[in-house]
Structure 1
Amino acid sequence: MRILHLSDTHGLHHQIHDLPEADVIIHCGDISNNGTEEEVLDFLNWYIELPYPHKIFVTGNHDLCLWDAEGIEELPDNVHFLQDKGVEIDGVKFFGIAYNHSEELIPIGTDIVITHEPPVMILDQSIGIHWGNAPLRNRVMDVKPRYHLFGHAHQDYGIVKQDGIVFSNAALLDDMNRLVRRPRLFML
């Protein structure tokens, strides 16, 4: 399974071109800049049209209008809004946590954890501040997924393997909100 990971596009998704082929595309939040319904609808229309068999996304701190949403009406069956819930695709178990929600919801047996926030002290630094979540790190270390995908800390785009878990921060924008990076492709 090929997984394409991206995060923190902040409304600049139309500037992303020549995306590689994948089976699943995952966006880890901050799809919008100001959290308006118009911005989110623009992103959703773009995302739905992408030629991927499965599309997953979670909310970020900028996606205000979606923070308390339990679902989004009329999404195609292959678009999964993982707001504190999971989906299984071809035997791989994905679980997404909404921004500022409880990491305790992540079930044991999850293969890929999807959050906006990074775990504390792992690819979590931006403008000299560690933005990571300590309880999230503790839960991920307990669950032991194969991958933990996130964004949020623009400066710490990268990938680290620790305790058998691949941690990936795919924030595409730099700290000046310029689109400077490419989405990351994983092969499971």
Structure 2
Amino acid sequence: MKNQFTIYCISDTHQRHRELTEKLSSIVNGDILLHAGDFTNYGGTFRSQGGGIDDFNMWLGSLPFKHKLLIFGNHERVLIDDDDLERVKQQFSNATYLNDELVDIDGLKIYGASWKADDGRDRRQLWSKIPLGTQIVITHNPPDGKSHATSDASFDIDKFLMRRILQVKPILSIFGHIHTDYGVWEKDKVTFVNAANMNEEGKALNEPVGFRLEMNDDKLVKLQQL
């Protein structure tokens, strides 16, 4: 069991992932890289051999992190039905794709859930799958917003996800989707991270968000933003 983790968070790269290469390649002793979805533009060349998904997978493999975890955002899920998920999962040879799944990395419990559309399903039941004791939750859906002033933010905040986050109390809740709400804030002893790299079309991407976690058994000793 490790006592210290270096973690970097990215999201909403929208096929511009290679613009982050210099920054992420310079990370020394990176333990975990987390991508919270929307690495394509509505699938882009997602299905084609040698297309966007292959380039993204190759890029992930070039980065100096021991573990790379990712989920799907709305741009991926719109073109992938449930029957396709397992096939697509196999295409990620350089990362672990999480679909409502918990992984344990050296004692750190991380749960990942891909985009949940507002399609009439019981969202409370969907989010209830996040286990108590989870220390990092990755979703594309935003449970909270740094600022609810914009119509984009207020419309897309998932109140049912927020309720579950406040029940589980992870150390980090990592997400994206709302490009204008990038940042880190704390609420009710949970650190929320909107890691969306995309901001306005044509502008330089937002920086990856990094943390150093110091743990004693399964208890947080220190959380430092890098």
Common fold, TM-score beyond 0.5?
yes
Where does structure 2 lack aligned partners over 5 or more consecutive residues? Answer: 118-125, 214-226
Whichever residue aligns with residue 141 of structure 1, its letter is L
List per-residue Cα deviations over 1:13-72 (Å, max 9, x = no partner).
111122223210000000111312222222112112222100000000111344631461
Structure 1 residues 125, 171: CA separation in 2 closer, same or farther (over 3 Å shift)? Answer: farther
Q: Which has the larger radius of gyration?
A: 2
Q: How does 1:37-116 map to 2 (within 5 A)?
A: 37=47, 38-64=51-77, 65-66=79-80, 68=82, 69-70=85-86, 72-73=89-90, 75-76=92-93, 79-100=95-116, 102-116=126-140
Contact 1:126 1:156 in 2 (8 A): no
Quote how far apart the aligned CAs of 1:179 are: 3.5
User: What is aligned with 2:141?
Assistant: 117
Whichever residue aligns with residue 116 of structure 1, its letter is H
TM-score with structure 1 setting the length: 0.90
Where does structure 1 lack aligned partners over 5 or more consecutive residues? Answer: none
- The sequence identity of aligned pairs, in percent, is 35
The list of structure 1 runs, each at least 4 consecutive aligned residues, that deviate by more than 4 angstroms after superposition, is 124-127
The structure richer in helix per residue is 2
Quote how far apart the aligned CAs of 1:80 are: 1.4
Q: Any idea what SS the aligned residue of 1:53 has?
A: strand
Contact 2:138 2:174 in 1 (8 A): yes
Structure 1 residues 109, 9: CA separation in 2 closer, same or farther (over 3 Å shift)? Answer: same
TM-score with structure 2 setting the length: 0.76
Q: Pick from 157, 170, 176: which aligns with 1:132?
A: 157
List per-residue Cα deviations over 1:64-113 (Å, max 9, x = no partner).
3446314612644x721111101111110000011117222101110000
* 2:19 equivalent to 1:15: yes
State the superposition RMSD in angstroms.
2.0
